[in-house]
Structures are given as structure tokens and as C-alpha cells.
Structure 1
């Protein structure tokens, strides 16, 4: 991986670790600050709402700032949020700190993706997106367990200090090795206009449906593995690491496939995810098969992300930052919606049926993808005679046809 892309990935790793690690340090935080676990758990909700609300607002407000400068400013705010959490004297201060960090999350990731794409040759956007997105995968596989260990060994505040430290190092690397890139688009008006683009809207809808299908199952994967497949709690921990490794493989593979053939690859990967979810539910009683499918599930679920982001970049080429930020916020909403749907399924039909519900949601994303693929092909076919006519080949082509 080129060093500038590594610097961006390290930033994303720090941001992802900060978002996810709260679950691992929740008990210690609640005891120290004198709040119950459900109240402490609202920190997750506060962060998610901060990402969803802050993404569009911060992106529009900073549309004219040079991209590298903006990246450094956003990381400065994020680091400040984690430092504030580390020194917070009361629970409400931690809530404020988490919201401050969350407000810049979507814009930061969107700008990081755009900087990464600006560094690679044309036709390698998917791979560039995948390399930056690897930071989120590694946050799940390495960052969260390490942050939880630090919190258990030295207290929950030490975890926030560690996140602030790694993101500070990453920010210094970005300042040293990432080249500046001009602001894209013409300001707030052009950024907002892009959201009216049909391709952008459908790409965001595909993100919501694909991610909601994943969230419907993954939120309840632990009880599925213990209650249906009868794995021990210790085995579930290992299987979650296996899932994380699968997500890394899927992200890399998805980026390469997006570079080769974007929409056909996205449709194939959504179809694969749908089939894997159905197979997951059908074979959940078989431990060996399920263990393999946990890896495959992780790979399939994350393989669609580079392609979805690349589709957004292509559709919103004139002013892509807001579209990317909204798409990143859509992941948060989709996961929340998937968790809610999965909970209703567990209550009414049992945890095993979350796989069917997840597949049903994902297949809707596949339908949208297939409609887009057909529309793209029709537009290319319509453009071909015009291109031939402009080069003097139109009449001969029509005669042969």
C-alpha cells in the first residue's frame, strides 16, 4: 500500500476504533461515572445521531476548503473530542465529547476517500476506496479488542487517550505525506444539487438496503451462534475474529471487482450476500458449515462497500463530497434499522429467522442494482449510434444493422 494511502487508512482505523470500542469499555465507564448500563449505552446512540446529523451539515459548511487542509481540521476536532472524553468529570461531558467527535465522522471519511482516489490512476478508484476502508475492518479486528484490553487494564479513560494518540500520529502522517487537493464542486448549492441525481439516490438506497440486511443478522449473530449452532461463548469470540478477517478479504476483493466492472460486480455481490444469508439460516445447526459461513458472510457483507462508494463518486463527479457523506450516514441509519428489524424477528419468530429477513431486505437492493445495470446498458446502446455518426460511421452501422 502506498504510504499516503496508509496514512489515510490509519486515520480511518482510529475513527473506527473510537466508534466501536465504546461497547467494550461500557461496564467500566458506567461504574466510574455512576450511571446504569442502559444509560451508558446511549453513548452509542448519541454517536450515531451525531454522524447522521453532522455529516451533511459539516460537509456543506466546508465545501470550499482545500481537501487536505479540511482533513487536518476535521481530525483536530476528532482528537479534541476523544481528549475531552478522556478527562470528562461527568457522564454528560462524555456525551458531549462523543457528539463532537461524531459530527465530523462522515465528512472526514468522505474527504479521505476523495483524497485517496485523487492519488491513483483512473480506473483504480475501487481499490483506493477499499484501501482506505480497510481501516474500519482493522478497527473491528484489532482496534476494538486492543482498546477493550487497555480499558480493562488501565481504565476506560486510557482507551480514549490511546485513540487520541493513534489519531494524532495518523494526522501528522497525513500532514507529511498526503499532497493537497482542491475543493470539489462549486460550494453548498452544487453539493446539494447532486443529491437530486437519480443515480446518486439509487446508490444511497442500495447502501441502505444492503447494510440493513447485514445489520439484521449481525446484530444478533452471537445468540444465533450460541442458541442455534450451540457454540460456546469463547468460540463465538473466535468466530467474530474470523468474521473480521473475512471482512478484510471482502473489502479488498470488492475494490478490485469494482475497478473491473462496477455495476455487474455490485449485482453479483449483492446476489451472493442474499444467498449466503439464506444458506446461513438453513445450515445454522451444523457447526463446521456455520464456522465457514461466518467468514464468507463477513467477506460478502463488506465486499459491496467499495463498489457502492465508487458508484457514488462516479454519479456525483461534479460535487461528490456531500453525496459520499450522506452515503456514510446511510450506513449508520441502515444498521440501526436492521437492528430494529432483527429484534422484531427475534421476538416473533426466533433468532434463526433473522437470516431470512436480512436476505429479504438485501434482495431489494439487488433489484435496484439490476434495474440500474439495465438502464446503464440501454444508455450505452443509445449513445453508441450517436458516437458512430459523429465519426462518420453512423450510416454504415445502420445499414449493417
Structure 2
């Protein structure tokens, strides 16, 4: 695997830390800026929204740029807005910085995915994606808890400063990434023609539903642990680390088998994820069961990630940057859909365990999209770029 692929994973680690670290900083941010906890929670929603809407437009706007140039600019903007966020005393300005940083992150994701895929052999796409996405899993294990510790020691602003500094340091390594070339030869119309492939949209649907299943459960992990399973609040950081450890193992194994057996990986992984979520719904009041299933859901949710991502790149081989942006948007649609549906069931008085039933239903729906993909595969020839 080229060194540049690991450098892209490092950059994703830094940005992933920023995306998820607010879960441990919201009370301090709310107290410091004089807003409520729900208002502070909108900072997380704003980031997810920026990730959804930011990727495709930026991918189109930078089609003629070299990939190295795009990566450098996106990460530079990401670093700059974190400096602004660390300095501001305005909630409204902090909200704006979260949206801008998310848009820059979405653009970086799109180009980084296309760059990683372009540097490896056709039968190593899933493994390359596992390295890049692995930055997120490492962020869950180390970055997010680290941000929480910094917030406890020196205030929430120190976590923003840490992300800014790490972003600048990572910029120095990006010069090792090949400059690459944009997709100017294809042009915007050519890129959009690639997105007309209905099999590609089925692949996006699989990503969104599977991500929603996993992230919906992850979002409400703390109240599940303390309010339903009866575990002490002091156990929550350990559960987050356990989830992250499962995700690291899952994406490592998934990246090594997905290229050879993509559909088998998806069917087996999604079926197991459905059963794990259903088991959590039934056994939500059991602390030991919760501990085991948290690890398993992290392992399964991230274990299918390389297969889902690489399948989209195989189908959209002629437009890797725009497809990469769309993949990023699909993941973040799931990041919004799962927690929202979980919140609906909790608000309806069905309890925190209901989010696990939502996860099981979403994972089952994702299985249906994979079955649909197999049906369409038999009816529609594989594009020449994908065969290559």
C-alpha cells in the first residue's frame, strides 16, 4: 500500500476527531457561550449537514485542480476555521465555523477517496478505502477521548486548538501525495452522466441505510448504558473506546476481504448487524450484553464500510471525485437519518432500547438494497471502466 494512502488516513483522523469530539464537549461549550445543551447540540447537526451538501458542489468546482492542490486547500481552510472557532465568543459564529469546516471536510473526503483509489491496483480498492476510512476509527478510539481529556483539563477551546495544530502539521505531509490530475477531460456533463447509473444510486442507498443503522445506535449509547442497562456514567468513555476498537478491527478485516467477495461481505455483515441490533433491543437492560454488543456493532458497521465504498467507485470509475463526494454525502445522510429516527421513537415514549430496533430495521432495509443491486447487476452490463 503506498505511503500516501496512509497519509490521507492521517488527515482523515484529524478531521474525524473534530467531527465527533463535540460529544464530550457540549456541556462546557453551552456553559461558556450561554446557550442550552440542545442549542449546543446543533453544532453537531450543522457539521453533518455541511458534510451532506458540501461534497458534490466542491467536487465539481475543483474538477480542473490537481488532487494535491485540492487536498491542501481543503485542509488549510479546515485548520483556519478551527482557529476562528477556538477564538470566538459567539455561538452563531461557532455554528458557521462548523458548517464551513464540514464543507471543507466533505471536499477533502471526496478527493482523498479518489486519490487513494487511483494509486492502487483495481483489486485493492477496498483495502485502500479501509486505510483512509480507518482514520475515522482511530479517531473514535484515540482522538475523541483525547479531545474530551483536553476539554476537562484546559477547556473546550483547547480541543479546537489541538485540531488546528494537527491539521497544519498534516499539511506538511500532504506534499508526499501525488499531484494527480483533475477530471477536466471528462467535463461536468460526463461526470453527471456517470451519476445517471441507477446501480450507483442503489449503492448510495445501501451506504446511507447501513450507516444510519450503526450511527443511530452509537448516538444514543450513553443513555442506553446509563438509563436502560444501569451502568455507571463513568463507564461511558470505556464503551466509546470499545466501540472504536471494534470498528478498527472491523475495517481492517473488511478491507482485506471486500475486494474478493464484495456481495458476500455485504450480505453476511448486514445480516449480522441486523441480528446484533435486534439482540441489543431485547437485551438492552443487561450490562454485560450491552458491552459485548457495542463492540460487535462497531466491528460489523465498519467491517462492511470498505465493501460499500469500493462498490460505488467500481460503478463510477469514470468520475471518481464526484462519486467520492456522493459517497461522503450518503454516509452523512445516514448519520442524520439514524439519530433522527431514534429520537422520534424515544420522543414517542418507546424508551432508549427502541433505537436498537430502528437499527435492526435499517440494516434489514440495507440488505434489500444489496439484493436489488444483484438483480440490476444481472440486467445491466458492467461499464467498461468498472471492468478495467
Scaled to the shorter chain, the TM-score interval is over 0.9
Instruction: Give the aligned partner of residue 388 of structure 1.
Output: none
> In 2, are the aligned partners of 1:278 and 1:356 still within 8 Å (CA)?
yes
> In 2, are the aligned partners of 1:264 and 1:373 still within 8 Å (CA)?
no
Give, in angstroms, the shift of residue 165 of structure 1: 0.9
Deviations 1:19-77 (A, max 9, x none): 11123222222333333333222222222222222212111111121111111111111
SS class of match (2:99): helix
Give, in angstroms, the shift of residue 217 of structure 1: 2.1
Give, in angstroms, the shift of residue 203 of structure 1: 0.6
Instruction: Give the aligned partner of residue 127 of structure 1.
Output: 127
Mapped partners of 1:248, 1:143: distance in 2: 13
SS class of match (1:300): helix
Give, in angstroms, the shift of residue 135 of structure 1: 0.7
Mapped partners of 2:265, 2:242: distance in 1: 24
Give, in angstroms, the shift of residue 317 of structure 1: 0.6
SS class of match (2:122): coil
CA distance 1:268–1:43, change in 2 (3 Å): same
| TM value normalised by structure 2 | 0.92
Instruction: Give the aligned partner of residue 350 of structure 2.
Output: 349
Mapped partners of 1:160, 1:267: distance in 2: 39
Q: Decide which moves more: 283-292 or 129-138.
A: 283-292
The alignment of Structure 1 onto Structure 2 pairs a total of residues equal to 381
Runs of 4 or more, structure 1, over 4 Å off, are: 377-381
Instruction: Give the aligned partner of residue 169 of structure 2.
Output: 169
SS class of match (1:123): helix
Instruction: Give the aligned partner of residue 223 of structure 1.
Output: 223
Structure 2: where are the runs of 5+ without partners?
A: none
Give, in angstroms, the shift of residue 155 of structure 1: 2.3
> In 1, are the aligned partners of 2:214 and 2:301 still within 8 Å (CA)?
yes
Give, in angstroms, the shift of residue 352 of structure 1: 2.1
Give, in angstroms, the shift of residue 141 of structure 1: 1.3
Mapped partners of 2:358, 2:292: distance in 1: 21
Give, in angstroms, the shift of residue 204 of structure 1: 0.6
> In 1, are the aligned partners of 2:86 and 2:160 still within 8 Å (CA)?
yes
Mapped partners of 1:380, 1:92: distance in 2: 50
Structure 1: where are the runs of 5+ without partners?
A: 384-401
Give, in angstroms, the shift of residue 180 of structure 1: 1.8
CA distance 1:284–1:308, change in 2 (3 Å): same
| TM value normalised by structure 1 | 0.89
CA distance 1:345–1:89, change in 2 (3 Å): closer
Instruction: Give the aligned partner of residue 387 of structure 1.
Output: none
Instruction: Give the aligned partner of residue 60 of structure 1.
Output: 60
Instruction: Give the aligned partner of residue 360 of structure 2.
Output: 359
Instruction: Give the aligned partner of residue 179 of structure 2.
Output: 180
Mapped partners of 2:47, 2:179: distance in 1: 29
SS class of match (1:63): coil
Give, in angstroms, the shift of residue 343 of structure 1: 1.8
Instruction: Give the aligned partner of residue 30 of structure 1.
Output: 30
Mapped partners of 1:104, 1:190: distance in 2: 24
Instruction: Give the aligned partner of residue 237 of structure 2.
Output: 237
Instruction: Give the aligned partner of residue 6 of structure 1.
Output: 6
Mapped partners of 1:99, 1:256: distance in 2: 34
Instruction: Give the aligned partner of residue 373 of structure 1.
Output: 374
Give, in angstroms, the shift of residue 379 of structure 1: 5.8
> In terms of Rg, which structure is larger?
1
SS class of match (1:21): helix
